[in-house]
Amino acid sequence: MTRILTLLFLISCLASTVVASDIDLRQSTITPEKEKVPGGELVTFHVVLKNTGDKPSSGTDVTISFPQNGFFIRMDELPELKRDDSAREISARVSLPAGGEYRFAFVLLAPRSEVSHFLSPHIEARDLLANDLDAARWNADASVKITHVPTTAGIVLGGLRFHPAAAWLLGWIVFGGVMFVWIRSRLKWVQEHPQFHKVPQAAEVRRIPTFGVTALMMIPLAFLMVAGGMAWRDLQTLRNWQEAQATILDRREVVKTSRDDRTRSEIRKGIPSRKTTTRTPEFALKYLVGEREVISSGFEAGWSIHIGGQVQGKADMDSWVAGTTIPCWYDPADPGNVVVRRGLSVACLLFALFALPILWFGLRQLRKVNHAVRRLEESESV
C-alpha cells in the first residue's frame, strides 16, 4: 500500500512539473484607452499578451474579431496580418518567450450612426501545440460606449444649448397651441350664436371637433417640416459641401429589419407579420481638409430614400474595398460629416405626398367654419 501511495505521489509531482513548465496565456489583457467615445472619433485598444508559463511559445495565433458597429482603422506592432473583410477578422502569429509578453494596439472608429451602442471587439490567443490547451488559450472582450457627438449648433441660454431642431419643435408646439385656441374660439362663437340655425350645413359645422381640425393642420405641417429638412440637407450637400479625395479604410453593411403590425384577422388566421429589410453600406474614410487629415464614416446624407438606392449600395459595397480612392463631400462647418453619394431624396417627396391630402382635408374643414363665421357676421350687419 505504501508503494502504491509513493508511486501516485511521484506521478502527481511529475504531472505538476509538466503543467508548470507549459505555456500560460491566461494573464493577458486588453484595455481600451477610453470608457466612452463620441461617435465619429477614434479609440485605441491596448493588448498585452503574457506568457506566465516556463515554456516559450513559438506560434501563438492571435485573432481579433471587430464589431459590426465599428470600423477597423489600423494595427500597431502586429506583423504578418491576415485580414478577412467578410468575417471582419484580423489574424496573426507571434512568438512569446517564457515569462515574457508581447504588446500591440489597434484603432477602431466609432460611427456617428451608432450612438448609445457599444464598440466591443473580441480577441483570442492560443497555442495549439501546448500540452495544457486550457492554459494556452485566452479570449476576452472590451467595450466602449458610443456617445453623442458634441455640437456647436444652436442657441446657448443659461448654460444650456438648444439645437435648431429643438427650436423648430418648440415653435411647432407653440403654433399648435395658438391654432387650437383660435379654432376653438371661432367654433364656440359660431355654435353659440343665436342665428346659428340659419347657417347652411349647420349640423355639420356643429359636429366639427376643435382638436380634430387642429390635428389635421399640425400633423401634416410636421411632415412638411421633416421633408423640408431633408431637402435642405440634400441641397447643402449639392451646393455648399466641399469635395475631397478619400481613401477607404474599412466598410460595413448596416442591416435594419422591421416588421409590420398584423390585424386581428391576420393573427387569428396565423398569417405571419411582413418583414422589411434594408441594407445600406457605410465606409470609413480618410481625407484631407486643408492640411488636416480627417477620418470619419459616411455614405448618404442622413436617412433618405433614393431611386435605385439598394442596387447602387450593393454595387458600391462590392467594388469599394479597403484602399480604394473615391470622391467624397464634407460639411465645411463639421468636416467629420461626410458623404460619398449625393442627390435629392425621394423621401422628401413621399413625406410631402403623405401630408398634402391631410392638410387639404383640414383646410376644407376650417373653410366651413370660416364660411359660417362670415355668414353670421353678414346677418348681424343687416
In this predicted model, what pLDDT tens digit does every residue of 135-178 receive, in sequence order?
999 999 999 999 987 665 556 555 565 667 777 888 899 999 99
Mean per-residue pLDDT, 250-260: 75
Quote the CA–CA distance of 153 and 162 in Å, as a whole number. 8
Quote the CA–CA distance of 31 and 51 in Å, as a whole number. 17
pLDDT score of 377: 78
Q: Given a cut of 60, is residue 366 above it in pLDDT?
A: yes
- For 206, the 3-state DSSP assignment is helix
**What's the pLDDT band for 96 if we cut at 50, 70, 90?**
very high
Structural domain includes residue 382:
no
Residues 325 and 205 in one domain: yes
Quote the CA–CA distance of 97 and 99 in Å, as a whole number. 6
Average pLDDT score, the chain = 82
pLDDT score of 155: 62
**What's the pLDDT band for 261 if we cut at 50, 70, 90?**
low
Grid cell in block for residue 379:
346677418
Residues 107 and 250 in one domain: no
Structural domain includes residue 135:
yes
Q: Given a cut of 90, is residue 31 above it in pLDDT?
A: yes
Structural domain includes residue 181:
no
Q: Given a cut of 50, is residue 196 above it in pLDDT?
A: yes
Question: Quick count: other Cβ atoms within 10 Å of Cβ 363?
Answer: 14
Span 32-80, pLDDT tens digits: 999 999 988 999 999 999 999 999 998 899 999 998 888 999 998 787 7
Residues 314 and 258 in one domain: yes
Residues 199 and 312 in one domain: yes
Residue predicted with more confidence, 27 or 354: 27
Structural domains in the chain (count): 2
CATH number at residue 33: 2.60.40.1510
Q: Given a cut of 90, is residue 122 above it in pLDDT?
A: yes
Residues 53 and 201 in one domain: no
Most confident listed range (17-26, 92-101, 255-264): 92-101
Residues 41 and 102 in one domain: yes
Residues 254 and 320 in one domain: yes
Contacts of 256 (CB under 8 A, 6+ apart): 277, 278, 280
pLDDT score of 102: 93
Q: Given a cut of 50, is residue 271 above it in pLDDT?
A: yes
DSSP letter at 196 equals G
DSSP letter at 241 equals S
pLDDT score of 19: 43
Q: Given a cut of 80, is residue 199 above it in pLDDT?
A: no
Residues 140 and 217 in one domain: no
Structural domain includes residue 285:
yes
Residues 203 and 335 in one domain: yes
Structural domain includes residue 128:
yes
Residue 342 backbone dihedrals phi, psi, to 5 degrees: -125, 170
Residue predicted with more confidence, 211 or 166: 211
Residue predicted with more confidence, 245 or 259: 245
Amino acid 350 reads: L
Structural domain includes residue 185:
no
Give the max Cα distance, the chain.
130
Quote the CA–CA distance of 245 and 252 in Å, as a whole number. 20
**What's the pLDDT band for 12 if we cut at 50, 70, 90?**
low
Q: How far is CA 52 from CA 97, 124, 127, 261, in A?
A: 9, 17, 13, 57
Q: Given a cut of 50, is residue 18 above it in pLDDT?
A: no
Quote the CA–CA distance of 60 and 78 in Å, as a whole number. 12
pLDDT score of 17: 45
Lowest mean pLDDT among 81-90, 134-143, 167-176, 306-315: 306-315
Residues 198 and 135 in one domain: no
Q: What share of the chain is helix, strand, coil (3-state, %, to 5)?
A: 35, 35, 30
**What's the pLDDT band for 14 if we cut at 50, 70, 90?**
very low
Residues 200 and 301 in one domain: yes
Contact 251, 320 (CB under 8 A): yes
Most confident listed range (70-74, 202-206, 343-347): 70-74
Residues 114 and 203 in one domain: no
Amino acid 283 reads: F
pLDDT score of 248: 94
Structural domain includes residue 318:
yes
Q: Given a cut of 60, is residue 357 above it in pLDDT?
A: yes
Range of the domain at 308: 190-356
Contacts of 288 (CB under 8 A, 6+ apart): 244, 245, 294
Residues recorded for the chain: 382
Number of helical (H) and strand (E) elements in the chain, helices listed first? 7, 19
Structural domain includes residue 347:
yes
Last residue of a domain, one of 118, 147, 176: 147
Last residue of a domain, one of 147, 169, 203: 147
